[in-house]
Each structure stands twice: as C-alpha cells, then as structure tokens.
C-alpha cells in the first residue's frame, strides 16, 4: 500500500515555476533517492510533503499520506508521523544538550516520562549516542549533530523519513557513516525513506528506487540499475557510481555493476595495462616553504601540528587530505597568518607571511561566514576590491565573475537561502574578486553536486594557468585525485606521503578513490573512471 | 553539571530575582560587594578556575572603567578629593561609582551563570503551560547571545582570511568591524527566527500538556525555600524602600546590624555554598570507598 501519494503537484513562487505536474507514490518500507541537478526543485518538493516547512507560494495538486489528504490531517499527525531532516544540522536543533534534543519531540507529544525515557534510551543505544548524551550540542562535530537529529526524529516514531541533503555539511567519512545508519533503519526497522542527495556512490547500492528531477519536473522514476540507461546523453551520468560510469562509458548497456565489488568483477576479464604517466612538468621555484612548524591552541593542549615541513611551488594545486580533527583547517589558517605557530616559520618568497606583498585569500569551512548582504549581487558589489573600482566598472566586474561561476541566475537570491553547493560557488566568486596570488580552500566541494564540482575544478585549473597557487584541504578524495598536482596526507601532526596524485592514490589501499579500488592490480595509476576507460581503450587499440 | 541547577526552575528564577532586587534596592556598598563576590564564586564553581579567571580579569577592567568614568562626570557631594579640569572629584561620587560598577558587574556574572544553568528546556517547562508562543519567543531570545558570540567569532576569522582588516586607517578598520558586527546581529536574528517553524515541525505547541524527560517536580523543599525567599524579599524591600543608601549630598548613615549582613551574605553565597557542600559530600563518599 502506498504510504505517500503525490498527484499533479504544482508550485509557483512569484513568477517562477518551481514544481510542474509532479506525480509519484511511495510504498511502505521503500528507500527512495531523489536526485537531479542543483536548482531542479528537489528540496522544494520535499518541503511540500512536510506541511510545517512549506514555503509561501501558489500550490496546487494533492498529497495523500496513508490514503488521506495531508491538508486535512491534524497537526499532531503531520508533526509526528512525517519525520523531516534539513541540510544544516544547526538549523534543526533547538536545545543545548544532546538528551534534551532527543527528548524534545516526545515532550511535545506529551509522552509520559517513563515511556519517554525508554524511547530515548532505545534510540540513543541504537545509534551509539549514549556516551555523549550529556554533551553540549555546540561541542559536537557535524556528523554527530546529524546523528542526533536523526535519532531525535526517529524517537517520535514517524511512518516516513524525509531527508533534504542531510550529508551536505559533512565530510565524506561522516557522510557515509550517516548513510549507513539510514540503510540500517530501512533494513532493520522497515522505515520508509525519501532522501534528496548528491552522494550516489554510497546511496545507489542501498536504495530501492531512484527519482530524477530536472527543471521542476519529475522525469524518471526507476530502479538504480536502470537509471543509467536514461542518462546516457545527460551530463548527470557522471554523478552515478564509478562502476556504473565505467560500464556505460565502455559502451555496455545491459546489467550494470553498481558497487566497487561489482565493478571489480566486471573489469576483471580485461588484460592488465599500465597507463602512461604524464611527463613531469618543469617545476616553478618554491613559493611557500614551511619549516619545522609547531602549533597548538593553548599552552595546556597537545600539539596539533609538530615538525611540519613542506614546500609548495608557484602555480601548484596542492591538496591536503586526512581525517577529521587532524588539523587541516588549522594548517590553512596558519598559512594565511590567522594563527601563529609557537615554533617554526612559514616563508613565502623567502619573507615572513605578514611581510609578503602578495594576496593570500582563505575560503573558510563555512562559506556563510563570508556573506554580509541580502542578495548575491550586493554581496559581490560590496566586496572590498570592487568598491575600490570606479563606479561604472563595478557592475560589469561582478557580472562577469558571476558568469564565470555560472551563478548569474542567482544574483537576486539571498546567499543564505542558496543550497550548499551554490553557497560555495558564491563564496568562491567573492574570494576571486580579491585577485588572490595564493588561494587557500577549506573543503571547497562540500555540498556540491557533480556538475558544480566539475565547474570548480575547471576554475582552479584556469587560475593555475594564471600562475595562481592553490592549496586545498579536503575530504573529497575523488576531487583531490582529479584536480591536484600533488597530494599530501596530514596524519599524526605532520604531512606525510606527499606525492603526485596518481602515485599517491595507487599506492593507497583504503584511503583512495573508488576507481583506484576497482582498478587495483589491473590498471595501476588509474584513479578516476575516465582513467579506467582510457586504460581499457588503450588495450583494445593495442590488440 | 551543577547541583544548584537541579532546583526547580521557578525556584531558580525567584532566587536570582531576590538577589538582584535586594542588591539594587539597597544599593548598599557591603550588600553589593556580597552579591558581587557571591556571583563570582558561583561562576568559578560552574566553569573552573582557568576559564573563569579570564572572565574575571575582563570584568575587572569593565569595573575599573565604570568606577573611574562615573566620578569624572558626576560632581555632586560634599567632600572634594581633588580637582579634575576645574571640577571637584568627590568622595561621594567615587564611592557611588564603585558601588554602581560593582552592581553592574555582579549582574553580569549572575546573568552569565544563569545563561549556563537555565537551559531552554527549563524555559519551556515554565512557559509552555502559560503560552506556547511565549515559550518559543523567550527561548529564542534566550539563545540569541550565545549564538551571536559563536557567529561573531566565526565571521571575524572568515573576514580576516580575506583581508577585511588589511587597511592602514584605524577609522576604516573600525568602520568595517562595525559593519560586520551589525550584519552578524541581523543574521543571528534571522537564524533565530527560523526556529518557530522548526519547533512546530517537531511538534511543539501541539499540546499544552507538555511532559518532561527530566521530571521537574516542585517539592516541599522547593516550596519552603520559595516562601522563605519571598518573605525575605518583602522584608528587605520594605526596609530598603525606607533606608536606601543615599550618596548625595553625603553618604547616609548605615543602620543595618551585623546580623543582617550575615543573613544577606548567606543568601548571596547560597549557590556557592550548596555547590561546595555537594562536592565535599562527594569527596567524603569517595574516601569511604
């Protein structure tokens, strides 16, 4: 029986048609992924299903929940039976302590104290939250916050769970952990799930159905195995899992592999090939030299970085990867001169950071911190470097910057209302107006869909041609593999294994891209889906 | 977690009202000093020596600032100490400045401690029965300051990272910092005002009969303490409305006996004493094991 039925849903916001004639239904116990390019109306569709979250606008069509019209249901049903999770964990939280957050919904329902304690205990134990039950919410990591949000929603025992890009603010490790929890509640508790997400690599193997949206319409409603066939000509094909991309790009059209394991099985029958490595580029002189750097936040804490030494050359795209809390962001702030090391020094062009004449610009982990105005255009026009230009040039400078990043259609929107990926691009636009010589990026691809990532990658490469040096800190290893000239791993207070990305990811077994895992032992130095495809093609040509 | 904070929220509210009202209605140097010391001691108990001493140093400067500014602008009083720009700096004004500074700083410490212990769930526990909307409103205002602080810190860091303060002119630096401060204020407000929807989406306001995960029962002890506090308040308000310390033209004669100071002192130090008692009890139990 359908738990949720949507019939001819239309939604207009001002003169914009956000949803057009959307109809579909979801069976009890199904795990459904909704995806599509940024701005296709996915989040809006999800909000239509949760009455309390509906934005103002003109709505027509009907939503049935358990066979009844959702607008006729009492508040007590819509608030408790439909669980909803937002992108930004902080927006959803209302209390100070973890246990208060878990109990909040149940308290609102008027559940008796004994029942409530059992329910909170259950849900906390299920997700392994019991050890930090009394911690302050503000001390939790992003991943922990989303887990608490999930647990708090589930404690109310909803019939269906709606999730709006729940992992967009999380690093990939926390993100895949979160998705694993979703799989667990779907498999073990039969929870019905509708999720809007970009991370298909992990999600497609676990879900039952895929919905694809574009320009406000629901275009495809199919299974994970079948979706690829529909997207063959669509750029979003590259958003699918690595195994699927390799399969379709090699021209196969039948039963596609989805997981890394399927992918390994699929390419095993090809003979091994070694991809030719690119000739080493002539190196520019060193630009940034870090020597024996030691840093800690205060006298009593442990060293966060110790004896850190490395050099970055002019025009490089240097990527630093590593786990949570190893000090990647702190390292970027040290390079930007926002923190001071207690021993060792950062040299740029043989002078100290503070005396260097060039422009060092840092993209913070939370791009929202950069925004100060109510529309994107104002945001950029009021950027300090633009204000220094003569009046008539300001407008054109800003517009050309927005064009470069493909965000000109967002110019009238409030930067805070943009999706995670759009915010990153808006922040990048603001940074680039400062004409940086050194660009420091802290998690630039957080919350971005595949297409936006490609754009950012193109942008960084263009900047490289202008001899701008970029240092990226990221958890996104697929991105690091494609964009960098060198990769280093920050581990145990120091930067280890600095290498060319092909060497770096080929020699890693666990901490590496999906493509490298698939190609392991067969095509050394293949670290992206494209690499595997070209390795196979190279083989075919040789034979 | 503080043991004092486990008292019933209503009692906690009555307590802090009594402390502040007694202090302001008397405006007596000793009583203000007692309230100040009591506030600081409890603050130490909540945060530990290291973190709390930072705040104490900061507020010491606030204290000095108020205490010195006040007598340099107000020149009432009989006893000139010295002359500043042809104006007398009087003993009375200096004393009042000290007391005023003490009262303001004491209020700051009590409020800071209460921000810590009077959590949103307590606000909701007290107010939902009265009105769900009031509960939302107050809990939002309650969250505002801590939230503003985090956002401000984050914004400062981010803007320094794109060189917002890389200008030579001090005035320009200040102007930019002020613009940022104003924006942070607006954004915090916007962030806080999304909360009603979120709270409603999670079922808040569905029923006034909201239950509690941690039962906050108003026990007999709470009742007795509340009545005691209210009587105390009535008595001293009655007294101080007649005998509030006057500073001009002369500092008024103090008629309060030493016994009263002991009682008021006990009141002001109560959270500290209670907290200390609990930790001593714990040490004692531990040594027995």
> According to the model, what pLDDT value does residue B98 have?
94
Can you tell me the distance from the alpha carbon of B5 to that of B9, in angstroms, rounded to the nearest whole number?
A: 8
B249: preceding bond cis by omega (within 30 degrees): yes
Contact at CB, A372 and B183, closer than 8 angstroms:
yes
Percent of chain A's residues with pLDDT above 70: 99
Phi, psi angles (nearest 5°) of residue A141: -80, 165
Contact at CB, A100 and B213, closer than 8 angstroms:
yes
Residue A16 confidence class, pLDDT cut points 50, 70, 90: confident
Give pLDDT tens digits for A20-60: 999 999 999 999 999 988 778 898 999 999 988 888 889 99
Average the pLDDT over A188-205 and give the result: 93
- Residue B37, judged by CB atoms within 10 A of its CB (0-12, 13-18, 19+), counts as middle
Judge whether residue A196 has pLDDT over 60. Answer: yes
Nearest to A107 among B198, B200, B211 (CB): B211
> According to the model, what pLDDT value does residue A82 have?
94
Judge whether residue B1 has pLDDT over 60. Answer: no
Query: B48, B206, B214, B215: which to substitute to probe chain A, counting the most A Cβ within 10 Å?
Result: B206
> According to the model, what pLDDT value does residue B245 have?
80
Distance from CA of A529 to the nearest CA of B (A): 36
Nearest to A361 among B162, B195, B211 (CB): B162
Can you tell me the distance from the alpha carbon of B117 to that of A345, in angstroms, rounded to the nearest whole number?
A: 43
Give pLDDT tens digits for A422-462: 888 899 999 999 989 999 999 898 878 888 888 899 999 99
Contact (CB, 8 A) for A195 and A34: yes
Contacts of B146 in chain A (CB under 8 A): 138
Pairing state between β A469-473 and A438-442: parallel
Can you tell me the distance from the alpha carbon of A176 to that of A475, in angstroms, rounded to the nearest whole number?
A: 12
Nearest to B121 among A84, A100, A152 (CB): A100
Give pLDDT tens digits for A254-303: 899 999 999 999 999 898 988 887 766 667 788 999 999 999 988 778 89
> According to the model, what pLDDT value does residue A279 have?
67
Contact (CB, 8 A) for A34 and A221: no
Percent of chain B's residues with pLDDT above 90: 31
Query: B159, B165, B203: which to substitute to probe chain A, counting the most A Cβ within 10 Å?
Result: B203
Can you tell me the distance from the alpha carbon of A117 to that of B214, in angstroms, rounded to the nearest whole number?
A: 9
Can you tell me the distance from the alpha carbon of A99 to that of B125, in angstroms, rounded to the nearest whole number?
A: 15
**Among candidates A516, A484, A451, which has minimal Cα distance to A242?**
A516
Contacts of B158 in chain A (CB under 8 A): 362, 364, 366, 369-370
Which residues share a beta bridge with B80?
B90
Contacts of B192 in chain A (CB under 8 A): none
- Residue A390, judged by CB atoms within 10 A of its CB (0-12, 13-18, 19+), counts as exposed
Which residues share a beta bridge with A494?
A491
Give pLDDT tens digits for B11-53: 999 999 999 999 998 888 999 999 999 999 999 988 888 888 8
Q: How far is CA A432 from the centre of its chain?
A: 21
- Residue A157, judged by CB atoms within 10 A of its CB (0-12, 13-18, 19+), counts as middle
Query: B180, B189, B202, B212: which to substitute to probe chain A, counting the most A Cβ within 10 Å?
Result: B202
Contact at CB, B211 and A95, closer than 8 angstroms:
no
Indicate the SS3 state at residue A362.
strand
Contact at CB, B191 and A76, closer than 8 angstroms:
no
Contact at CB, B210 and A110, closer than 8 angstroms:
yes
The residue assigned the tokens 């930790």 is B279
Indicate the SS3 state at residue B143.
helix
Contact (CB, 8 A) for A41 and A216: yes
Give pLDDT tens digits for B109-137: 999 999 888 888 888 888 887 888 888 88
Q: Which residue of B has its CA nearest to A112?
A: B211
Ranking A371-375, A404-408, A471-475, B206-210 by mean pLDDT, the lowest is: B206-210
The residue assigned the tokens 């630096």 is B173
> According to the model, what pLDDT value does residue A365 have?
87
Can you tell me the distance from the alpha carbon of A220 to that of A217, in angstroms, rounded to the nearest whole number?
A: 9
Structure token digits, residue A114 = 């004994």
**Among candidates A100, A106, A101, A57, which has minimal Cα distance to A79?**
A106
Question: Mean pLDDT for chain A?
Answer: 90
Give pLDDT tens digits for A123-137: 999 999 999 998 888
Handedness of CA A71, A76, A79, A80 (dihedral sign): negative
User: Which residues are CB-contacts of A339 (< 8 A; sequence separation ≥ 6)?
Assistant: A295, A330, A333
The residue assigned the tokens 């939370």 is A366
> According to the model, what pLDDT value does residue A240 have?
93
Question: Mean pLDDT for chain B?
Answer: 87
Query: Domains of chain B: which residue ranges?
Result: 4-128+216-285, 145-211
Query: A369, A414, A423, A433: which to substitute to probe chain B, counting the most B Cβ within 10 Å?
Result: A369
Structure token digits, residue A155 = 């404690």
Contact at CB, A338 and B201, closer than 8 angstroms:
no
Residue A497 confidence class, pLDDT cut points 50, 70, 90: confident
Distance from CA of A454 to the nearest CA of B (A): 24
């Amino acid at each position: 029986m359908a738990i949720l039925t949507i019939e001819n849903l239309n939604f207009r916001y001002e003169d914009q048609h956000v949803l057009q004639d959307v109809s579909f239904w979801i069976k009890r116990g199904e795990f459904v992924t909704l995806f599509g390019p940024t701005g296709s109306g996915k989040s809006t569709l999800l909000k239509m299903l949760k009455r309390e979250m509906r934005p103002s606008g003109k709505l027509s069509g009907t939503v049935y929940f358990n066979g009844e019209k959702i607008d006729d249901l009492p508040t007590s049903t819509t608030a408790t039976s439909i669980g909803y999770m937002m992108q930004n964990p902080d927006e959803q939280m209302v209390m100070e302590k973890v246990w208060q957050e878990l109990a909040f919904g149940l308290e609102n329902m008027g559940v008796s104290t004994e029942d409530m304690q059992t329910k909170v205990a259950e849900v906390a134990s299920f997700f392994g939250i019991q050890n930090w039950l009394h911690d302050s919410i503000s001390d939790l990591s992003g991943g922990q916050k989303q887990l608490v949000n999930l647990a708090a929603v589930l404690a109310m025992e909803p019939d269906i769970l709606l999730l709006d890009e729940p992992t967009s603010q999380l690093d990939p490790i926390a993100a895949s952990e979160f998705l694993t929890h979703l799989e667990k509640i779907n498999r073990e508790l039969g929870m019905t799930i509708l999720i809007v997400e970009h991370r298909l690599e992990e999600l497609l193997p676990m879900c039952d159905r895929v919905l694809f949206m574009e320009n406000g319409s629901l275009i495809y409603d199919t299974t994970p195995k079948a979706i690829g066939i529909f997207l063959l000509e669509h750029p979003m094909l590259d958003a699918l899992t690595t195994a699927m991309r390799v399969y379709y790009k090699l021209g196969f059209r039948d039963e596609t592999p989805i997981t890394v394991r399927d992918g390994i099985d699929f390419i095993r029958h090809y003979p091994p090939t070694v991809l030719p490595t690119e000739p080493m580029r002539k190196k520019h002189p060193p630009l940034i030299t870090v020597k024996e750097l030691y840093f800690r936040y205060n006298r009593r804490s442990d060293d966060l970085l110790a004896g850190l030494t490395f050099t970055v050359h002019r025009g490089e795209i240097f990527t630093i990867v590593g786990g949570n809390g190893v000090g990647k962001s702190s390292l970027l702030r040290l390079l930007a001169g926002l923190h001071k090391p207690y021993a060792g020094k950062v040299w740029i062009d043989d002078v100290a950071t503070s005396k260097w004449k060039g422009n060092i610009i840092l993209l913070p982990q939370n791009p929202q911190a950069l925004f100060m105005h109510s529309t994107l255009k104002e945001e950029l026009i009021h950027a300090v470097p633009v204000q220094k230009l003569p009046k008539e040039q300001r407008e054109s400078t800003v517009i050309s910057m927005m064009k470069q990043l493909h965000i000109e259609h967002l110019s009238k929107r409030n930067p805070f209302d943009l999706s995670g990926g759009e915010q990153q691009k808006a922040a990048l636009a603001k940074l680039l107006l400062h004409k940086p010589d050194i660009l420091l990026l802290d998690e630039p691809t957080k919350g971005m869909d595949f297409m936006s990532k490609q754009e950012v990658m193109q942008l960084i490469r263009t900047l490289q041609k202008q001899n701008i040096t970029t240092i990226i800190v990221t958890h996104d290893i697929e991105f690091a593999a494609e964009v960098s000239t060198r990769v280093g791993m920050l581990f145990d207070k120091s930067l280890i294994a600095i290498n060319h990305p092909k060497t770096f990811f080929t020699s890693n077994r666990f901490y590496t891209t999906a493509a490298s895992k698939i190609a392991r032992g067969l095509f050394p130095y293949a670290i992206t889906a494209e690499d595997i495809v070209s390795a196979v093609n190279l083989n075919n040509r040789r034979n | 977690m503080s043991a004092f904070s486990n008292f019933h929220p209503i009692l906690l509210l009555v307590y802090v009202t009594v402390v502040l009202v007694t202090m302001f209605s008397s405006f007596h140097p000793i009583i203000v000093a007692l309230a100040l010391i009591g506030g600081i001691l409890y603050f130490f108990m909540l945060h530990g020596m290291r973190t709390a001493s930072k705040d104490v140093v900061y507020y010491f400067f606030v204290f000095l600032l108020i205490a010195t500014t006040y007598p340099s602008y107000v020149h009432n009083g009989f006893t000139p100490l010295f002359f500043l720009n042809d104006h007398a700096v009087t003993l009375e004004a200096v004393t009042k400045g000290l007391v005023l500074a003490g009262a303001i700083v004491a209020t700051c410490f009590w409020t800071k401690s209460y921000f810590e212990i009077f959590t949103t769930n307590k606000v909701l526990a007290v107010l939902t029965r009265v009105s769900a909307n009031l509960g939302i409103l107050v809990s939002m205002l309650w969250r505002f300051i801590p939230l503003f602080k985090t956002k401000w810190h984050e914004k400062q860091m981010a803007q320094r990272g794109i060189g917002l303060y890389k200008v030579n002119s001090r005035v320009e630096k200040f102007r930019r910092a002020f613009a940022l401060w104003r924006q942070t204020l607006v954004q915090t407000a916007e962030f806080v005002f999304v909360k009603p929807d979120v709270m409603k989406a999670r079922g808040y306001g569905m029923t006034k009969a909201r239950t509690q995960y941690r039962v906050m029962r108003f026990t007999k002890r709470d009742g007795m303490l509340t009545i005691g506090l209210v009587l105390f308040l009535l008595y001293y308000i009655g007294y101080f409305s007649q005998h509030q310390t006057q500073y001009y033209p002369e500092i008024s004669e103090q008629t309060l006996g030493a016994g009263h100071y002991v009682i008021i002192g006990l009141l002001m130090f109560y959270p500290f004493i209670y907290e200390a008692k609990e930790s001593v009890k714990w040490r004692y139990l531990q040594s027995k094991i």
